[in-house]
Structure 1
């Protein structure tokens, strides 16, 4: 008979358990090196949830979802396309919170989720997904959800795996065994920002301590001849104005604004000498606090193709990419 532990929402837990009952978010990772290893972790996890009457969700890549469909047959699993669920971190958080709220309102005492979080091995930029993996420990804390994030060691870069260890309080070291993760570090992931390929060239626009109006004018002129959609052009101007305003209001001067473009894509980078937002959820969840940068940053995260935030050698930098491919 398997042992069982009650896991309160404050995160305290025993060091090693083989079954889990949660009242808050139990965030777990597992590493696998073959399709059989993936199934060995995910299938019993989902089957146990279904037997207990727990809503059980799969938001994986097409290949992993196909593996699970074949293994589970017509089991009542809720399948969500991973590409849709994980289009942007802020969208993923909003969508999951809506799902969790719906099922708990309907009486669910616990839920289970298996999700493939995007990373470079899947063709995605990582730094904002590293922030996601750190932030959801707080963003989902109010919900009784057991989330399993499996990572394929065949395709996941070593630096990503290091971030995964830092951001998950729990780890399934072998299928069916669940342990407190000694490598977990509360707060933001330590992954460094990766400069965009466009930064290899000289910026089209470079300004120091500009007003938001000056930035909007300069950006409008710089993108005038580009093949951007009307929505993308609007997003670039808004993003540039918002990030500069954020730096001037909440950062430490000087505030340096730079813009690069390649004809179909625009990259904006704003650097100040401050430390950036103290809230790990900044930009990933909405806020109505007028003295906070959270609302504007959240709009950027919901509209732009890529947003990166973090400390670098010369200060705190926000990067925003719109159009083309990142």
Structure 2
């Protein structure tokens, strides 16, 4: 069965409940596994509105579920797999407040990737967008990432929908800002990455990252550097610098790598699959960006303390 991925816009709790209740009840009546990932105050209002009728629904607070795009994809994949062969009916309301512009870019990409990751799952997903809270550009992107739109109770094909490969390519064209002049630099010159790991660990400690975050960043940097040594073009190096609460770690070389915009986002079936390393890196760090141009290929990793 094909995925049904629809969005709708609302303003106010009443409008929210009026649109989501029929969707959830249709899932319950069909014997589907019904999941509701909703932000407050909608979550509390929905529970109260459904009462005992919602006893079999799996409720999640969106503020705890939507913390990291790739991890959230993995969590939804786990939910779908755990309920197989039952169809999953998911009410999925992301949190759009509190992110940087680059984080918002990745959350918009996440919505597009839903169409690929769950393409043959048969899942039904409804994504609410609060017109009063979501930024205007997020509403615009919702129309580009959802093939179906719910309006006035009817589901219609969305003519503004953009296929995920094209959408992801646009995300990767966002401007890359070079490291600051005072960034710390490490030249990657040989396959022995022990010194590189020690360099990153030292910068992580100086920035105040906790032990787990520091180890994750070291592991991620090692994976990206090893990949650059295998496939990149010298000279290559690593830069680190603070950006507010974040420690930035960027690895670059002079090659021109043109990965699929889906690379490193789609959960691989095994560790032998192409893209497993980049997928692992995305899971380890708070944000990873890949930019390629005339001056080389750069992988930038963000880790927040």
Question: Would you call these one fold, judging by a TM-score over 0.5?
Answer: yes
CA distance in 1, matches of 2:33, 2:273: 39
Instruction: Tell me if 1:111 matches 2:91.
Output: no
Which residue does 1:20 correspond to in 2? none
Sort the Cα spacing of 1:209 and 1:102 in 2 relative to 1 into closer, same or farther, 3 A: same
Sort the Cα spacing of 1:79 and 1:203 in 2 relative to 1 into closer, same or farther, 3 A: same
1:315 CA displacement:
5.1
Instruction: Tell me if 1:86 matches 2:66.
Output: yes
Alignment of 1:34-53 (within 5 A): 34-53=12-31
Unaligned 5+ residue runs, structure 1? Answer: 1-22
Sort the Cα spacing of 1:309 and 1:41 in 2 relative to 1 into closer, same or farther, 3 A: farther
Matched pairs, number: 295
Say whether the 8 Å CA contact 1:204–1:261 is kept in structure 2. Answer: no
Sort the Cα spacing of 1:201 and 1:314 in 2 relative to 1 into closer, same or farther, 3 A: same
CA distance in 2, matches of 1:29, 1:314: 39
Unaligned 5+ residue runs, structure 2? Answer: none
CA distance in 2, matches of 1:221, 1:145: 45
Say whether the 8 Å CA contact 2:184–2:241 is kept in structure 1. Answer: yes
Alignment of 1:218-297 (within 5 A): 218-251=199-232, 255-261=236-242, 265-272=246-253, 273-278=255-260, 280-288=262-270, 290=272, 292=274, 294-297=275-278
| Structure 2 counterpart of 1:130, from 108, 113, 116 | 108
| Structure 2 counterpart of 1:147, from 110, 113, 125 | 125
1:231 CA displacement:
1.6
1:290 CA displacement:
4.2
RMSD (CA atoms): 3.0
TM-score (norm 1): 0.78
Q: After superposition, give the CA deviation of every residue in 1:246-301 in whole Å (9 maximum; x if it has no partner).
A: 33434555545321126964111234553442161524413535473x22222222
TM-score (norm 2): 0.82
Q: Which structure has more helix as a fraction of its residues?
A: 2
1:44 CA displacement:
1.6
Sort the Cα spacing of 1:263 and 1:225 in 2 relative to 1 into closer, same or farther, 3 A: farther
Say whether the 8 Å CA contact 1:205–1:260 is kept in structure 2. Answer: no
CA distance in 1, matches of 2:182, 2:266: 30
Which residue does 2:162 correspond to in 1? 185
Sort the Cα spacing of 1:33 and 1:251 in 2 relative to 1 into closer, same or farther, 3 A: farther
Which residue does 1:74 correspond to in 2? 52
1:53 CA displacement:
2.4
